[in-house]
Structure 1
Amino acid sequence: MKIARSSDWKTIALPSKRTTIPLSRSFSEKEMEMIRRGLIPEEMEDKWFIYWQDNTLFFHRSWTGFCLFVVRFVPKEDGWETVEADLNRDPGQYRETSGEKDADLIFFLIDLLLLHKPDATFPCRGKDAMEHALMGWSMVGRAIGGHHPNGDEEERQ
């Protein structure tokens, strides 16, 4: 499997309009192997380009190249831990303003797109089932149905 690099896709750096939030979640070495692979879109329905560089995970929207999240990790004795994330706050690129919602989305994207966890739940508060499904599709495309770009057939099932 190809490991995603910044040069694999059109990317636009995180703008100066940003905020930083603390994050704290641990990952095992095995999980980090999958996270470091990143994600290269294969179809229009693949909404994200994600790559690892210098202990940092970069999340870009695949269509625009806009960087929405930059998540920093630190090694620890039994794996790695997230410590903080820079969040895009340029309203011309991204409209969310809640750091809590962005933290939930970051971990959902890691769980679904990079770790291929079948029980990853799209973080959508207070929406009816139809709106929840539409928001999930607009955020992660075909992955919401279990079709993972860059995934092995075994991982897709």
Structure 2
Amino acid sequence: MIYHPRLNEQGQKHPIYKPHTPSELKSWGDASSIVTATPDCDMSAGINGKALTSGVMPETREQWEEWAGCYDFEEPDFVLSKGMKEAAGAVVIEDDGRVWVVSPSNEFGGYANTVPKGRTKGVLSLRATALKEVFEEAGLMIELTGFLVDADRTSTRTRYYLARRIGGNPAEMCWESQAVHLVPSQQLETFVTSEFDAPVISALRCHLKAQAAEVKPKVATALDWKTLPFGRDVMGWAINRNFGARQFANLRLGMIPHSDDDKWFAYFSGNVLHMYRSWTGHYFFRVYFIPQEEGAIATVAEANLDREYFEGTEEKAKTLLMDMLDYFATDVAHKLY
């Protein structure tokens, strides 16, 4: 018998009858893949430039409410349906557009996969409950970004918020979950199949569609940021990486930082992508593309390994570049989802 490494509320070992298999570490960076974490499995160091590290769980009601009070957005009054209990949860959207989903241990409540949520139990506010449930069930620390929808379930009326990950580690899920997944939003309907989750996914679809209609991203140019010369300690290597038409179109938008969290500035000149660190203006990468009928091929890359700005290995530089190219090629990087 396999037991969850975390004890249940009674302080007992909790059996897992049909355990999941964790995904390979390298697959976590593939925005088109469904990936799975299991309790205490090995995890990638980070996703989309954000580290996966142990979160710090608040210990008191006051601490949860203080965290919940950090977010300034409007939401409608919560109207509790007759006979229903109050609950809250969050749809956590990763920076590459995938959504965090949990598998309740032994399909508790009849759910193979669902969105993190739980009852307020008259103790916490709706926002604090959403934060707490995501932390416990998915191991993630999140930032609430807005209201999504209210939906009735079997015994609860649940308020769902939109959120993004700011910390935590899915492998540290509590005993209530036996797996945590990252699922491309296009595949949610086939992965989260409960009828009670359908209104949540439908509301998410409407949100993403409306957001995409509002966004008209600016194409970056060399004049949009203060930058430094390329430097002398240059390493070049072959890439031969294909990008589809939509991916290449996203890459050609470049990247203009809008906050301190945006660590890169990038723009195209001809068929060359120039990439800089936004804080320092350090000219880090140059990538050469050959356009195709459908997209383009990245053929050669060059990295500036000047030790004044970069202390990592050559392999680290190569990995960093590919991670950033994969991210810049997504709709999420340019808020087109």
Q: TM-score, normalised by structure 2?
A: 0.34
Q: Deviations over 1:85-140 (max 9, x none)?
A: 11111100212231x332222121122234146xxxxxxxxxxxxxxxxxxxxxxx
Secondary structure at the aligned position of 1:45 is classed as: coil
Secondary structure at the aligned position of 2:235 is classed as: strand
Q: 1:93 aligns with which of 279, 302, 309?
A: 309
Residue pair 1:6, 1:51 contacting (<8 A) in 2 also? yes
Secondary structure at the aligned position of 2:290 is classed as: strand
- Range moving further from structure 2, 87-96 or 102-111: 102-111
Q: 2:318 aligns with which of 86, 103, 116?
A: 103
* Aligned residue in 1 for 2:335: 151
* Aligned residue in 2 for 1:69: 285
Q: 1:7 aligns with which of 223, 230, 237?
A: 223
Instruction: Provide the rounded CA distance (Å) in 1 between the counterparts of 2:298 and 2:330.
Output: 15
More strand by share: 2
TM-fit CA distance, 1:77: 4.3
Aligned-residue sequence identity (percent) comes to 31
Instruction: Provide the rounded CA distance (Å) in 2 between the counterparts of 1:41 and 1:114.
Output: 16
Instruction: Provide the rounded CA distance (Å) in 2 between the counterparts of 1:68 and 1:94.
Output: 9
Instruction: Provide the rounded CA distance (Å) in 1 between the counterparts of 2:329 and 2:259.
Output: 16
Aligned pairs for 1:8-87 within 5 A: 8-87=224-303
Residue pair 1:38, 1:114 contacting (<8 A) in 2 also? no
Unaligned segments of structure 2, at least 5 residues: 1-216
TM-fit CA distance, 1:38: 0.8
Secondary structure at the aligned position of 1:91 is classed as: coil
Instruction: Provide the rounded CA distance (Å) in 2 between the counterparts of 1:94 and 1:47.
Output: 14
| Structure 1 runs, 4 residues or longer, greater than 6 Å off | none
Q: Which has the larger radius of gyration?
A: 2
Q: TM-score, normalised by structure 1?
A: 0.70
Q: Which amino acid aligns with 2:335?
A: G
* Aligned residue in 2 for 1:133: none
TM-fit CA distance, 1:53: 1.0
TM-fit CA distance, 1:40: 0.4
Instruction: Provide the rounded CA distance (Å) in 2 between the counterparts of 1:13 and 1:78.
Output: 33
Q: CA RMSD in A?
A: 1.7
Instruction: Provide the rounded CA distance (Å) in 2 between the counterparts of 1:4 and 1:105.
Output: 21
Q: Which amino acid aligns with 2:274?
A: F
Unaligned segments of structure 1, at least 5 residues: 118-147
How many residues are paired up? 121
* Aligned residue in 2 for 1:129: none
